[in-house]
Amino acid sequence: MKIGVHKIAMAAPNDVSGLKCLIDSGVVDPATIVALIGKTEGNGGANDFTRGFATLSFQLLLAPLLGVTPDEIGSSIAFVWSGGCEGVLSPHATVFTQTPSEVAETPRLALGIGITRDLAPEEIGRMAMVEAVAEAVRDCMDQTGITNPQEVHYVQVKGPLLTPARITDARARGAALATEDPNGSKVFARGAMALGVALGLGEVAAADLCDQVIARKLDLFSSVASTSAGGELKNCEVLLFGNSPAFGGDYRIGHATLCDVIDADGVRAALASAGLVARLGLSSADATRIAAVFAKAEASPTGVIRGRRNTMLSDADINYERHARAALGAVIASITQDPAIFVSGGTEHQCAPGSAPIAAIVRA
Amino acid sequence: MKIGVHKIAMAAPNDVSGLKCLIDSGVVDPATIVALIGKTEGNGGANDFTRGFATLSFQLLLAPLLGVTPDEIGSSIAFVWSGGCEGVLSPHATVFTQTPSEVAETPRLALGIGITRDLAPEEIGRMAMVEAVAEAVRDCMDQTGITNPQEVHYVQVKGPLLTPARITDARARGAALATEDPNGSKVFARGAMALGVALGLGEVAAADLCDQVIARKLDLFSSVASTSAGGELKNCEVLLFGNSPAFGGDYRIGHATLCDVIDADGVRAALASAGLVARLGLSSADATRIAAVFAKAEASPTGVIRGRRNTMLSDADINYERHARAALGAVIASITQDPAIFVSGGTEHQCAPGSAPIAAIVRA
Amino acid sequence: MKIGVHKIAMAAPNDVSGLKCLIDSGVVDPATIVALIGKTEGNGGANDFTRGFATLSFQLLLAPLLGVTPDEIGSSIAFVWSGGCEGVLSPHATVFTQTPSEVAETPRLALGIGITRDLAPEEIGRMAMVEAVAEAVRDCMDQTGITNPQEVHYVQVKGPLLTPARITDARARGAALATEDPNGSKVFARGAMALGVALGLGEVAAADLCDQVIARKLDLFSSVASTSAGGELKNCEVLLFGNSPAFGGDYRIGHATLCDVIDADGVRAALASAGLVARLGLSSADATRIAAVFAKAEASPTGVIRGRRNTMLSDADINYERHARAALGAVIASITQDPAIFVSGGTEHQCAPGSAPIAAIVRA
Amino acid sequence: MKIGVHKIAMAAPNDVSGLKCLIDSGVVDPATIVALIGKTEGNGGANDFTRGFATLSFQLLLAPLLGVTPDEIGSSIAFVWSGGCEGVLSPHATVFTQTPSEVAETPRLALGIGITRDLAPEEIGRMAMVEAVAEAVRDCMDQTGITNPQEVHYVQVKGPLLTPARITDARARGAALATEDPNGSKVFARGAMALGVALGLGEVAAADLCDQVIARKLDLFSSVASTSAGGELKNCEVLLFGNSPAFGGDYRIGHATLCDVIDADGVRAALASAGLVARLGLSSADATRIAAVFAKAEASPTGVIRGRRNTMLSDADINYERHARAALGAVIASITQDPAIFVSGGTEHQCAPGSAPIAAIVRA
């Protein structure tokens, strides 16, 4: 098998013309699409509806081509959107296909997709969620034929948070929850999913995990997890990317850790890990080898970046996640020369506190 | 003479403790302070009062030390503030002093400060403003002993715009104005001041200038001007920085042109122009040689950056200037390793459309 | 004929469950739906995609019920959305149906819907647009059987503005445009459509109109027009509401003029015009008689409201339209006791400068 | 004694010309000023520096007139600012003076000002703060000669919150805090101060209070408290307003409870409580009798207002406090016909959950 990587520009959240063009011209067979990861131009907050609009628009494009209903698309293709195109970040989607292929001489980009069972409200943000994600991660590794967790470079997970309705339901049943604050539950859900990745990949030991460490003991973490939580989900969806000897194709993936949102060395380390040595002033030829970059951006927990006070967390006009994405997105694009990159927020148990993961897919 | 460069962090717009500490410890003699250029943590818009609060706070610190009233400080020290600390930009001020010194072997950082006469409303954004600024620029060159305009690297100008009161006054006198829109007058004022710099430095020919080209014929420009307009001013204040054989001290200044807000090569070119070759991964020793960076950030006029659609100009939540400053500030800081840099917006006749000036002061 | 008025709450821009419920329960026959006017919870600006998301969602609900494609819905049902639920404004849609009915003893709510031909770019914001709208207005009056323009109380028009593509097209053909600024064209388009209403209803004389008065001579206006412009349209869609002797049913409509965004007397005048005398502390019974309220909100052009300085226009964080909608929406809801009301922005040639139209539909 | 009430407009946070004019013309003797309560045009959040700028500006005006330093002004005049002029709210200050006077036939507006001791970090948001405020409230009642707590209508308290520095200090001493989250401490501080007012006025019984009820058992509350917390304070400052038989002058104060931000009846009830019956369409003569209005605005804790969903709490672009102030400010101004009113946010233990206090000062 091999994974195809197709980046398409979007002129609006409902602009699916880029994918339609690839399909019409025969470059992409819709039946081979397995996942789509993208940025939309909303505010990235609770009232950002550009993500849902984009998903619906792609479902409406693909459903007739695949002979299913728009709703059914969701069970065969994973959609991951991050809202918020701050600074230079450009709305786009990266479409992943999987097609038969010879293996290559060296391990190549592989993608495994796993789904957990639906989780009860009292399982969200707790060990049950950690264990369900860990199991899905192991299942993804089996799919990809990757046996060495070091060859896993990026694990995107999205899953449920506690909505008011779920909290009411749990109360009625007398079930204890991680928190009774809907917004506060994001932290626990993202944290539990990240620890699930860490457990599945052996980055943390099962013995060190319990409900009490989730979103609290932050020196337990995964270096490759990128997690998000939304009220529309009941189960967790795992997209595991790595390099597998069982896959062919042209791409390799690598990753690194960003120490802060202006860590240019970290960006270059991710490219190097994927096989591209980014010298000063990347050549155009090298720049076009970069197929996709995925990173998390976070405010400095200390309020200080490189010894200077940062005002993200005290800004009442612009949410700190928007400041952080604007900064990191510009730094990455200044190196890769492409503003169509995936930068999202929220890093509980995703790298050590203050740092964040970055992954890059590069043409071999 | 020599110019001293002292960067101080600010914990709030009224935090003058950094300068007080330098004065108390004898590092800075308040009588030698000639200018202060800084960033404050407001929104950078018409209702950003952090700039005025900072000026008042520094005036209150310095007035008793200099034996003058707070108001009188303004005539001996030039204050330039840009509001808006987006992304990683950190609130700070760079304090410039001028003290007697031997000359050095090579030209060193020099600063000339010029003031125009008060301008009538009908002169704002028109040739009278261009010519007044050009004359002040020439005066600044005389002060610094710089004869070759190529050795001028950064000219910061601030001056008046058309307020509603001034428009009313002009109408009463039957005087024709560049525009009758107060906000729109910023564009004309900034443009006229930039053309004034260009004329003063010989970057444009007098014969090519007339009222009609201001803010319209944008292929006429200065490569080193950085201008801003505010309703509180009646005259223009010019701060001209260059390298002069008549000055001593430790600093040199250089400049370059940024082709967009992620132009890392442009940032490195400015450092190189000032004498610091920024290899990949600047060493800590080299990073500490960078005393100050001044740059302008602008949205792409085409709505495209490196071939990708940019959404700054269509964002109704966050002003495009804030997006642009966040992006450029992060890119510069990712290279210089210091987020306390001066990035402001509005680039009419300041480099070619879409590009922007950047200057750096580096310890020799 | 009679017009049915059904207000449905929306839990999100894509929440069509309210209408689905009315259809499932037999209250609304989808084949009788002629128009839908609503508020969505976006920012109301150029990057507000909640309007498109809502339209698509309702099209997907109705298309299979009506045996047409989602695209075809647009030609049989008029959708009007205003983004921005500031203050207490609540996301909702008002669905209008038209069904056979006996006439009533007195004139009742009538709705005429008219469509202009597609307009060329050079016609947008100019007399051609004024005349096309006027013709559609007259056509709507014919449909409703209203002969006295005084019985027309609310004319909602939406139509095209100048997009970058249209401007390019016109330039290529050498056609002169109202403006070459896409955002600035909104003002001309809204103004021309409002003058079209005024001309169609005889509020202004044809002899007083020409290209030069549009968006400039603001003492020419309609007291009942409410217009909006969007890049997705090529023609103008007119919804004319009045009271007609040819219509039956339970509703009457009335209107008034608001002198500013806190004009509670103006709100009560609109209710009284529709037949509901709003005494102090409206009774619950009376409050439930109010089926819908439609109003325009605007910043004070003088920057002063009731003798006090207003800061809407100088706020760089929140667009003035959002301030204005928040204020007026709260004032109306404080009287009608229902925050699900339609308040939108932009009032060129819609009432005298500084004032704005308000209409109310009340159960007889 | 009598209390003078002087409302002055402000053209900017540092515009003290209104008070200067009153002083210059002899209307206000600066030595008689005891308090100043106003609104500034910032964002009302943690990075709103307009409050500090206003305080400094008034201190600089008054210090030379009173022969003291600007810093010393703070100990003789209480300053209370609320940032955020959303919707129609207009920047202004209400200056209170106290001068000798005959008593009137009926009780008149009285003002008592109390100061607590400095509070240790571990006392903030806990019973020590409650008790200190209660004692200051009783002291204020003694000052005013009010013996019946029913005659107290508005108690404005401002006091300290937990800053990072205080939290660090407390940890070093092993002292337990109400919370270790600086932002979260606002809730505890405002709540404790409100319960202090309730205890001082006998609205709650001492036996019902303990650390655990603060910010948690919200059915314990004061109907007249309005509290705010800021990092710049170490002690609490109490301004108690009521009607006293020991005071003369022209003013009376009253209060009421607002059930939500569009509670026009509540606004009228406050006016009536102060002696002004607000019939429909207040006459100009009656409107000018209203000297000042003070109210708190809050988002609906249920997310529903008058049966309709409200989106304030899910808006990631505009803070809910800004939405709430915009709405309530417009409703009040639509009745009083004056947008220069004091509306601030945060209502823990200030009226029952979801409701909020409003007070009005009216000329007899």
Its ipTM equals 0.95
A190 CB contacts (<8 Å, ≥6 apart)? A227, A228, A229, A346, A348, A349, A350
pLDDT at D361 over 90: yes
* Mean pLDDT lowest among A198-202, D65-69, D205-209, D276-280: D276-280
Chains that touch D (3 or more CB pairs under 8 A): A, B, C
* Whether B89 contacts B339, CB under 8 Å: yes
- The pLDDT tens digits of the residues spanning B129-187 come to 999 999 999 999 999 999 999 999 999 999 999 988 898 899 899 999 999 888 789 99
Enclosing H/E stretch for C285: helix C284-289
pLDDT value of position B210: 97
CA dihedral B48, B50, B52, B54 (to 10 degrees): -160
Interface test with C, best of D261, D268, D331 (most C CBs within 10 A): D331
The pLDDT value recorded for residue C299 is: 92
The answer to whether the Cβ–Cβ distance between D306 and C334 falls below 8 Å is no
The pLDDT assigned to C181 comes to: 82
Which chain A residues contact residue D315 at CB under 8 A? 45-47
Question: Helix, strand or coil for residue B197?
Answer: helix
Q: What are the backbone angles phi and psi of residue C57, rounded to the nearest 5°?
A: -65, -40
What pLDDT, on the 0 to 100 scale, is given for residue C164?
82
State yes or no: is A228 an active-site residue.
Answer: yes
| Residue D288 reports pLDDT greater than 90 | yes
The predicted model scores a pTM of: 0.96
Q: Inform me whether the C-beta atom of residue D50 falls under 8 Å from chain B C-beta atoms.
A: yes
Q: Which three-class secondary structure state does DSSP give residue A6? A: strand
CA distance C146 to D159: 64
pLDDT digits (tens, 9 = 90+) for B311-348: 998 898 999 999 999 999 999 999 999 999 999 998 99
Tally C-beta pairs within 8 A across A and D.
34
What is the rounded CA–CA span in Å between residue C186 and residue D230?
Answer: 44
Long-range contacts of D271-274 (CB under 8 A, 24+ apart): D271/D335, D271/D336, D271/D360, D271/D362, D273/D153, D273/D360, D274/D153, D274/D359, D274/D360, D274/D361, D274/D362
Output the CA–CA distances (angstroms, integers) from residue A174 to A164, A169, A212, D190, in the order listed: 15, 9, 20, 32
Residue C84: CA atoms inside 13 Å, Cβ hemisphere, count?
A: 27
CA C335/CA C328 separation, integer angstroms: 11
pLDDT at A128: 98
Q: Which of A106-120, B254-268, C235-249, D173-187 has the lowest mean pLDDT?
A: D173-187
> Which residue among B2, B7, B158, B186 is the active-site one?
B158
Burial class (CB within 10 angstroms; exposed 0-12, middle 13-18, buried 19+) of C20: middle
Q: Is the pLDDT of residue D164 over 90?
A: no
Instruction: Indicate whether B279 pLDDT > 90.
Output: no
Cross-strand bridge partners of residue B81? B38
B53 — contact with chain D (CB < 8 Å)? yes
Q: Report the chain A residue with the minimal C-alpha distance to residue B10.
A: A309
Chain A residue closest in CA terms to B298? A87
Structure-block tokens of residue C255? 């209107």
Residue of B nearest to D49 (CA): B50
Instruction: With CB atoms and an 8 Å threshold, state whether B88 touches A263.
Output: no
pLDDT in tens, B2-20: 999 999 999 999 999 999 9
**Residue D97 parent element (H or E):** strand D92-99
Q: Is A158 a catalytic residue?
A: yes
pLDDT at residue D37, as a whole number: 98
Catalytic residue among D2, D39, D158, D296: D158
pLDDT band at B232; cut points 50, 70, 90: confident
Q: Which residues from A are below 8 Å from D316, CB to CB?
A: 43-48, 319
Beta partners for D40? D83
Please answer whether residues D2 and D248 qualify as being in contact, where contact means their C-beta atoms are separated by less than 8 angstroms.
yes
Query: Is the distance from CB of D27 to CB of D112 less than 8 angstroms?
Result: no
Q: What is the mean pLDDT of residues C348-357?
A: 95
pLDDT of residue D302: 87
pLDDT at B206: 97
pLDDT digits (tens, 9 = 90+) for D102-127: 999 999 999 999 999 999 999 999 99
The β-bridge relationship of strands B251-258 and B308-309 is: unpaired
Contact A49 C52 (CB under 8 A): no
Divide the 364 residues of chain A into consecutive groups of 10 and give the mean pLDDT of each group: 98 97 98 98 92 97 96 92 97 98 96 96 97 98 96 97 88 92 88 98 98 96 96 92 97 98 96 88 88 96 94 91 97 97 95 96 96
Question: Which residues in chain D are contacts of A311 at CB distance < 8 A?
Answer: 47
Mark yes or no for CB contact B47/C311 under 8 Å: yes
CB distance from D163 to chain B under 8 Å? Answer: no
Instruction: Please name the residue of chain D whose CA is at the shortest distance from the CA of residue A48.
Output: D316
CA distance A330 to B324: 10
Nearest-Cα residue of chain A relative to residue D311: A47
Which tokens sit at D315? 């808006």
Tell me if A12 and C53 make a contact (CB, 8 A cut-off).
Answer: no
Q: Cβ of A14 and C52 within 8 Å?
A: yes
Residue in C46, C47, C314 nearest the CB of B47 = C314
| Residue among D43, D317, D319 whose CB faces A43 most closely | D317
